[in-house]
Structures are given as C-alpha cells and as structure tokens.
Amino acid sequence: MRDTLDTTEEISTGRRQFTQGVAALGGLAIAPGVFLYHAAGAKPDDQAVSSQQRWGMLVNTNNCHEECDACVTACNEENGVWSLGRPETDAQWIRKLNVRDRQTGHVTSMPMMCQHCEHPPCVDVCPTRASFRREDGIVLVNKHTCIGCRYCMMACPYKARSFIHEPLQDQLPHSPRGKGCVESCTLCVHKVDQGDNTTACAEACAEEGHEALLFGDLNDPESEISKRLEKYGGTQIRADLGLNTGVRYQGI
Amino acid sequence: METARFSTIHANSVQYWILLGTLVLGALVGYLAAHHMDVEGHHITGMSNQIVWGFPHVAAVFLIVAASGALNVASISSVFGKVDYKPLARLSALLAIALLVGGLVILVLDLGRPDRLIIAMTVYNFKSIFAWNIFLYVGFIFITAIYLWMMMERKMNRFSKPAGFTAFIWRLILTTGTGSIFGFLVARQAYDAAIMAPLFIIMSFAFGLAVFILVLQASYAWTQRHLGDAILHKLRVLLGVFVASVFYFVLVYHLTNLYATEHHGVERFILVDGGIYTFLFWVVQMLFGCVVPLVLVFIRPFSQSRHMISLAALLVIVGGLAQLYVIIIGGQAYPLVLFPGMEESSSFFDGVVAQYAPSIFEILLGVGGICLSLAIVTVGIAVLEFLPESLSDKALKLESVTP
C-alpha cells in the first residue's frame, strides 16, 4: 500500500502524524496535572463527600492474633509507607499494640491507628487547618498546607501521627507524602472514594481468615458494622476524652 | 525622672564590633544549622515521632516567655506608676521585641516546611491556640514598637501610659497563650492543666527580669556608664519575689498532680526516676534556678554584691531553660497512656520512655536565636537612644540603699 500512496496522501499523513504527535505531547504535559488533581481531590467524580456517611472501623480484638501483622504490611504496601531503617523516625500509620493487664497478665493484641474522631484534637490545634475532618468522618492532612509544626502530634491521644523526617522517594500517586509534613491513616480514602467499601488492612485481615477488622458506614443502620455494634456493643479508646471515635473495639 | 537623658552608645570601639560580630556569627551559624536540618530532614536531629518538639522549642519558648517578662520593667513604670523604673522602660521594650524575634525565628526555622510560613500567616484556624499565638506575637511586636515610639518621641509622651497599659494587657494574654499551648493538650499526662497559663506568666516575670538585669549590667559596665545601687537593688528584690512566685506555682502544679492517682506515673517519672529529667528538675531547676538565686538576692553578704546579683540572674536563666526542658521534653518522654493501668508495647515505642538527646544542629539553632536577640539589642542601643546616660542614685534622685 505504501508504494501506491500519492504525494497528497503523503503530505496528509505527515500532517496527521504531526498533529497526533503534538496532541500526544500536549496530553503528556497536562496528564500528570490532571492525574494528580484527580488523586488529590480524593472523592468520587460523580458525588460530593457527604455527612450522610460516617466511615468507621470495628476491631474485634478476640479475633486479632498477637503474632499477626498482616494489616500493618497491607497498609504499608497500599500507601507506600516504607521503612527507612530508622524505627524512631519511620512513619507508622497502623501498628500492632499489645496491652497487658498488670493484675491478671492477660494480653490483648490490637491494631492502633488514627481513630477518626468526630472531635479530633489534631484538627482543633492545627494552626493552618491542614488537619481536617471530611464530612464523612475521615480525618486527613492536607499536604499542601501542613507547615510541619507537629502540634497535632502533641495533641493526638493515640500517637497515630508520624512526621516525615527525611526526603522520600517512590511515593504512590494516590498517597501523597513528603518530607516535613505530618501524616496518618487515611482510612484508605482513595479506596473509599472508588467505592471499594473497605480498607487495605481490613482486606488483609479477612484474607488471613481472622476477620478482626470490619470497615463500614456507622450512619447506615443496615451496614454490617452498625448491626454488629448494635448487637455486641463497642468500646472507644480514651472514651473519657469525649472524642466520639470512628474506630471502635470489641474485647477490650 | 522626666529629665533622664538618653543617648546612643558609641559603636566605634573594637570591643563593640567584636561583640556584634560574635553575635551575628552565632545567628548565622544557627541559620545554617537550620538550613541543613531543612535539607536533610529532621532525622539528623534528636527529635523523633516520640519527641516531636526538641531543644529548639525549649530555646524558642524560653525567649518568647522571657520577651513578655522583659517588658515588665516598662509596665511597672507606665502601668503601675513607679517612676523610678521609667528610665529603664525603653531598654525593657527593646529587649522584649528582640527576645520575641529571636524566639519566633527559631520556631519558624524548625518547622517541617519553613518555606510555607506564608500559609501560617494567611490561613487561620481560630480554635488553635497556635493560630492565636501568631496574632499575639506579631501584635506584641507591633504594640511594643508603638509603645516605644510614644516613650521616645517627646510629642507623643502623653500617650505612653495608655500604650504601656495596652502592651501590659497584651503581654499577659500572650503568655497565657504560650502556656496554653501545653495546657490545652488534653491527652498528655504532664500537660492538660489550667495552671500552665499562670505558671508561664510568672515564669515570664522571672526569666524576663533575669535577662533584663544581665543586659542592663553588661551594657552599663561595657560602656562605662554609671549604674547606681538603688535601682539595681530594686530589681534584685523584684527578681527574688518573682523566683519565689515561680516556686509557689511549681509546687501547686506538682501537689495537684500528686493528689490525682492518674498522674502518679508522670509525677514519679519527673520527680523520682526520670533520669536526666529528674536531675534537671531537682538540681538545675529547683536548686540552682530557685533556691540558690533566692539565697543570693535575699541573704547577706551575697545580696550586697553586684556579682552575686548577676550570678543570681544567670542561674534563673539556666534554671528556666532546665524548667522548660523538663516541661517540654520530659512531658513528651513520658509515654502516652492509652489504657490506664495496663502495660503497653508496640513497634512504635508505646509504653516506653522516649529517648532524646539534642543534636548539634538543634543546639546551634537555639543558640543562634539567642544570639539574634542579643544582636538586635546591641545594634538597637547603638542607633537609637535606649539607654539613660546615667542610672546613678543621684541621677535617678534615689536614696542610696544598703541592702
């Protein structure tokens, strides 16, 4: 076919290729911006975040195995929270906490992370409103306005936040992170906004067959989490502070 | 006192330039240390996810607290009408501004993102005491500068009393704000106490006056101006009263905590088995920062010696730094209590006392801020008329006193 092309067609093809090239280049140039905007927007394209939902988590410590840290590994993989080999300054969004009763010696193991409070002390103290609570109850840090003062870390009763102590590389697009800012569990907000209706830690726990973590809508009486909480109850850690946490525990 | 003559110091001596050069160099080294921390990240400091505020915050809070206290001497003359202190008011206001600037520079340079200062200046969360403090600190500099203008410009002298009154009220609110940074931390065992605000106010009285006494003595000695016994001994007695007041507030803070069982853990940590924090509390803060200065300023023959007054002021400063180290770093080193009465453990240092040792960069930044403050004073007294030509008993028309 190429041999039979006349000159006009050659010019036309050349022009088409040129136009396509320019379009592709233009697309390449703006794509990261569009992509980042999409990731940073962190909400579904077709609907706004609403207070009709209150996303939360139920932790059944009776099902949580002391030696298992699948939730921690899954969170790190999902959000790109890599260890830099310095435990004291490495970020930890979720950790396994062992609690031992001094009187009885009984040990309870549980995951500990941002409790996504209704009245979060981190949001109260943040001078620049970088720490904020979405309408659906997820507490996040705006990485564009966090000045790295660490007052939220002083205020958080759960030691849920980490400061990024050194330059990072290979961050994941849906999980913006950077030196000099504070971060914590996002309740896998990117998955929530995609409609996955679960988090990486809860998925991993289920895959292990433990089913100690249940994600869901606390405002929906028909959701599994609401039904279980209604039937069996749930405890807030440091309930005395009156923060109305979105993460509830059973068996503590 | 209306007739007190003020003049600039002569900045043409070698000693002056050596002093200023040293201070500027110290400030510059502090800036370079902060820049290095900014480029490398905070992992090169002693700070961690356990101790999030380190030595720079100790130095910064000391300077900010001392700044509001340094203004007291001016307030005593303008607000409380003690005319004997009026010749000291200008230096008092200059020192207040200089100390606050030094403290703020440290705080800003220690931010994770100091390049985002503009965000802190333009986006506010009015439920955050930090956001209020930005207003309070900037407002303090502005109001104190106006107060200085009212005092230094003859035509504006009549407004100096209302300006001084405004500055006095403002400084009380400011230190309330600084103390509340800790008082409002509901979850930490060592904080979450309303007494933090008045404690910080009385600490500011003592620390600010101690810095003022040292700067006054040094500037008069090094410029061969006469500093009479009468005014110095007034300041000496005042320092003693302030130090005793700090002792009272510290006593009430710990007694209140000791009464509540839930705070026994943190009290035991600070008072008995906290290692460096226990040492700093009992030996540096209480013994050298409180008891020894009280002896030096109130008991003869020490109280008759100018050197002993200087030593007392210096010890109050050292004790004050130790006190803030214990409050800020000791308060964080004691672990958060998630489950009262239980033992906690995790890979994130739950349930264990956090380790902290300041890095050289943090120390240089803290010292750099102090150098910047003193450099501002050194330049200030050379370019504007802050210092009375004489503070002799005769010039002040004060009766000579025998302490």
Q: Which of A100, A163, A252 sits opposite B343 (nearest CB)?
A: A100
Q: What is the mean pLDDT of residues A180-187?
A: 97
Number of Cβ within a 10 Å radius of residue B383: 10
Q: Which of A86, A127, A252 sits opposite B125 (nearest CB)?
A: A127
The per-residue pLDDT for A42 is 45
**Is A46 a member of any domain?**
no
| A107 and A203 together in one domain | yes
Cα separations (Å) of B227 from B49, B235, B297, B390? 49, 12, 18, 7
Cα separations (Å) of A78 from A43, A74, A121, A183? 18, 6, 26, 15
A74 pLDDT higher than 90 = yes
- Best CA proximity match to A178, nearest among A166, A188, A160: A166
| B341 shares contact with chain A (CB less than 8 Å) | yes
| A91 shares contact with chain B (CB less than 8 Å) | yes
Q: Under an 8 A CB cutoff, do A91 and B49 touch?
A: yes
Pairing outcome for strands A107-113 and B226-227 = unpaired
Dihedral of the CA atoms B127, B131, B132, B137 (nearest 10)?
170
Q: What is the mean pLDDT of residues A97-107?
A: 95
A90 pLDDT higher than 50 = yes
Judging contacts by C-beta atoms under 8 Å, the chain B residues touching residue A241 are: 186-187
Optimal mutation site among A125, A145, A235, A237, interface B, most CBs of chain B within 10 A: A125
Query: Side chain identity at A178, as an amino acid letter?
Result: G
Closest CA in chain A for residue B190: A154
The per-residue pLDDT for A1 is 39
Query: Side chain identity at B186, as an amino acid letter?
Result: V
Q: Under an 8 A CB cutoff, do B117 and A146 touch?
A: no
| Residues B156, B197 contacting (CB under 8 angstroms) | no
Optimal mutation site among B51, B116, B329, interface A, most CBs of chain A within 10 A: B116
The per-residue pLDDT for A4 is 43
> For residue A246, what is the domain's CATH number?
3.30.70.20
**Is A48 a member of any domain?**
no
Chain A to chain B, count of Cβ pairs less than 8 Å apart? 171
| A120 and A78 together in one domain | yes
CATH code for residues B6-390: 1.20.1630.10
Number of domains in chain A: 2
pLDDT tens per residue across span A130-142: 999 999 999 999 9
| A121 and A188 together in one domain | yes
- Report which DSSP code applies to A56: E
Q: Which of A90, A96, A181 sits opposite B113 (nearest CB)?
A: A181
| A39 shares contact with chain B (CB less than 8 Å) | no
Q: Residues near A189 by Cβ (< 8 Å), separated by ≥ 6?
A: A42, A134, A138, A140
B403 CA to chain A: closest CA distance, Å?
47
Cα separations (Å) of B68 from B90, B98, B140? 14, 11, 9
Closest CA in chain A for residue B45: A165
Q: Under an 8 A CB cutoff, do B348 and A181 touch?
A: no
Pairing outcome for strands B226-227 and B390-391 = parallel
Q: Which of A121, A145, A237 sits opposite B123 (nearest CB)?
A: A145
pLDDT tens per residue across span B178-231: 999 999 898 898 998 899 999 999 999 999 999 999 999 999 999 888 888 989
Which residue ranges of chain B lie beneath pLDDT 70?
1-3, 399-403
Residue A28 or residue A129, greater confidence = A129
**What HEC string does B123-188 produce?**
CCCCCCHHHHHHHHHHHHHHHHHHHHHHHHCHHHHHHHHHHHHHHHHHHHHHHHHHHHHHHCCCCC
At B394 the three-state DSSP class reads coil
Q: Under an 8 A CB cutoff, do B113 and A96 touch?
A: no
pLDDT tens per residue across span A221-240: 999 999 999 999 999 999 99
Pairing outcome for strands A94-101 and B342-346 = antiparallel
Any long-range contacts for B318-321 (C-beta under 8 Å, 24+ apart)? B318/B284, B318/B288, B318/B289, B319/B284, B319/B285, B319/B286, B319/B288, B319/B289, B319/B290, B319/B293, B320/B62, B320/B65, B320/B66, B320/B203, B320/B206, B320/B207, B320/B210, B320/B289, B321/B58, B321/B59, B321/B62
| A218 and A122 together in one domain | yes
| A69 and A183 together in one domain | yes
| A61 and A10 together in one domain | no
CA distance A40 to A150: 22
| A38 shares contact with chain B (CB less than 8 Å) | no
Number of Cβ within a 10 Å radius of residue B164: 25
Cα separations (Å) of B312 from B246, B320, B323? 15, 12, 16
Q: Under an 8 A CB cutoff, do B43 and A86 touch?
A: yes
A5 pLDDT higher than 60 = no
| A151 and A212 together in one domain | yes
- Best CA proximity match to B49, nearest among A150, A246, A57: A150
Q: Which two three-digit tokens encode residue B312? A: 């007392």
Is residue A69 within a helix (H) or strand (E), and if so which, with residue range? none
Mean of all residue pLDDT scores within chain A: 88
| A171 and A138 together in one domain | yes
| B154 shares contact with chain A (CB less than 8 Å) | no
Judging contacts by C-beta atoms under 8 Å, the chain A residues touching residue B119 are: 128, 145, 147
| B272 shares contact with chain A (CB less than 8 Å) | no
| A25 and A124 together in one domain | no
| A163 and A68 together in one domain | yes
| A28 and A118 together in one domain | no
Number of Cβ within a 10 Å radius of residue B273: 10
**What HEC string does A92-107 produce?**
CCEEEEEEEECCCCCE
- Report which DSSP code applies to B359: -
**Is A50 a member of any domain?**
no
B177 CA to chain A: closest CA distance, Å?
13
State which residues form the domain around A113: 55-250
Q: How confident is the model at residue A158 (pLDDT cuts 50, 70, 90)?
A: very high
Q: Under an 8 A CB cutoff, do B338 and A163 touch?
A: no
Q: What is the mean pLDDT of residues A243-251?
A: 96
Write the DSSP string, B262-284: GGHHHHHIIIII-THHHHIIIII
**Is A63 a member of any domain?**
yes
Q: Which two three-digit tokens encode residue B170? A: 């403002």
At A127 the three-state DSSP class reads coil
| A59 strand-pairing partners | A213, A249
| A24 and A76 together in one domain | no
Cα separations (Å) of B219 from A28, B70, B163, B226, B257? 65, 15, 26, 10, 42
- Report which DSSP code applies to B396: T
| Residues A113, A95 contacting (CB under 8 angstroms) | yes
The ipTM, to two decimals, is 0.92
Describe chain A by its helix, strand, coil percentages, rounded to 5: 35, 15, 50
Cα B154 versus chain centre, distance: 31
At A140 the three-state DSSP class reads strand
A38 pLDDT higher than 80 = no
Closest CA in chain B for residue A181: B112
The per-residue pLDDT for A39 is 43
